Amino acid sequence: MSGDQARLPVAIVGGLHADARRAAVEEILRTVPGSVALHHDLTSAVDSAVHRTVRDADGLLGSGNAPLVNDCACCALREDLVPELLRLAEAGRHRLAVVELWDSVEPQGMAPVIAAAGAPLALTGVATAVDPALVLPYLSNSDDLADAGLAAAPTDQRTVADTFARQLEYPTVIALVEGSLCGEDGEVADETDHALLAQLTPGARKIRVAGGALGAALLAGFDVAAAAARVHPACALLPQECDEHGASTFVWRRERPFHPQRLYTALEDLTCAAARSRGRFWLADRPDTLLSWDAAGGALCVESAGPWLAALPDAAWEMVPAERRLAASVDWHPEHGDRCQYLTFISPGLDRDGLSALLDSCLLTDDEYTAGRDRWRQLPHAFDDLLDPVT
């Protein structure tokens, strides 16, 4: 085959809620003629292999096992995924290949793998399937994936909450699957559940699986570079202020840096104040380092995301992605450049006033601020254990 005939569209459907994910995939197979689903079950990795199945609307087409790579089931998935997709493309019988990810596998980890393969594969859509009634319970679940039997590798230290949050925030499509469609008799999503999901995923299309439009949405195209920029701490497309049906998004933006010790002391209260919070910030004792804030389920991850653009020499700017330069230029400060505090908190029952007061109290005071950067660097290095752990 050649030209368009040789091109195999590939869509990813993921999600920790396995019943919702399966319902979404079954709907695609039913409504898109010639579609096929490829799934790697990492549950069987205890037997030193990952079980692979290929099916269409009529049932199972084939199965096999992919051996573990360095005792890592997720690594085995990466090694086996593209060859299997290429085999499906070569067969020339399919209009769409749906990669149904296993529970805790994040779309952001697999999308670049497929996109990098190039022709004849074409990544055309990424979706996470969700039952809106389960969004808050999942975001509140602080269990380690390993304890829940969902770890994708021996070194997997993720939690249910932070994994679910990233699964929501990366794709351009959210497939809505109510409990009855999942074969469950659980709670029915209410207005607060839907409002919370909408605020967590402002840039994604929400498509009810029962409506039959999911397959077409996943053939529309997907930009891997844009998706990566959308979730990168330096230029993330963060949610806007909102208060609807009992779910709230609070956006806190300031210019001056945090006092490291006061912020460190407040971390527990700030982390537990919302179901989900994320953003970027800077510390007075580390003025050149862009720090990422990523919290869900009562657990916080603070990491260095490299230097602020203002800390780079002019010659280095050409090596910075255009998306980041654009994001920095929007609120460029005459003194601090792109250095800023930009944090968002999303939750039902959010205490905006309390959060704002607590965050403001962690900033440098007027006297501390006017003392200048040499004095700032002498402040207590309270985040050293988090940012520079001894290994």
Give the start-to-end residue ranges of the domains of the chain. 3-231, 242-387
Task: Identify the burial level of 273 via C-beta atoms within 10 angstroms of its C-beta, where 0-12 means exposed, 13-18 middle and 19 or more buried.
Answer: buried
Q: Which helix (H) or strand (E) holds 347?
A: strand 341-348
Task: Please report how the helices 107-117 and 73-91 are oriented relative to each other, as an axis angle in degrees rounded to 10.
Answer: 40
Encode the chain (391 residues) as per-residue pLDDT tens digits. Answer: 444 446 999 999 999 999 999 999 999 999 999 999 999 998 866 567 889 999 999 999 999 988 887 777 788 888 899 999 999 999 999 999 999 999 999 999 999 999 999 999 999 999 999 999 999 999 999 999 999 999 888 888 999 999 999 999 999 999 999 865 554 556 789 999 999 999 999 989 999 998 889 999 999 999 999 999 889 888 877 889 999 999 999 999 999 999 999 999 999 999 999 999 999 999 999 999 999 999 999 999 999 999 999 999 988 888 888 888 888 888 899 999 999 999 999 999 999 999 999 999 999 999 999 999 999 999 999 999 999 875 5
The reported pTM is: 0.92
- Regarding beta strands 49-56 and 59-67, do their DSSP bridges make them parallel or antiparallel, or are they unpaired? antiparallel
The answer to whether 3-231 and 242-387 have equal CATH topology is no
**C-beta neighbour count of 62 within 10 angstroms:** 12
Q: Which residues does 380 contact at the CB level (< 8 Å), separation at least 6?
A: 260, 261, 285
Distance from C-alpha of 386 to C-alpha of 388, rounded to nearest angstrom: 6
Residue 95: per-residue pLDDT: 95
Amino acid symbol at 136: L
Angle at 16 between CA 233 and CA 275, to 5 degrees: 50
CATH 3.40.50.300 holds for 3-231: yes
Secondary structure (DSSP) of 46-90:
GGTEEEEEEEETTEEEEEEEEE-BTTBHHHHHHHHHHHHHHHHHH
In 3-state terms, the chain is what percent helix, strand and coil (to 5)?
A: 40, 30, 35
Q: Are 136 and 194 in contact (CB under 8 A)?
A: no
Q: Which helix (H) or strand (E) holds 250?
A: strand 247-254
Q: Are 75 and 48 in contact (CB under 8 A)?
A: no
CATH 3.40.630.10 holds for 242-387: no
Establish whether the linkage from the previous residue to 120 is cis, with ω within 30° of 0: yes
Tokens 């998004």 correspond to 249
Q: Are 76 and 67 in contact (CB under 8 A)?
A: yes
Distance from C-alpha of 338 to C-alpha of 309, rounded to nearest angstrom: 6
> Long-range contacts of range 225-229, CB-CB < 8 Å, 24 or more positions apart?
225/321, 225/323, 226/323, 227/108, 227/111, 227/126, 227/170, 227/171, 227/172, 228/108, 228/112, 229/321, 229/323, 229/324
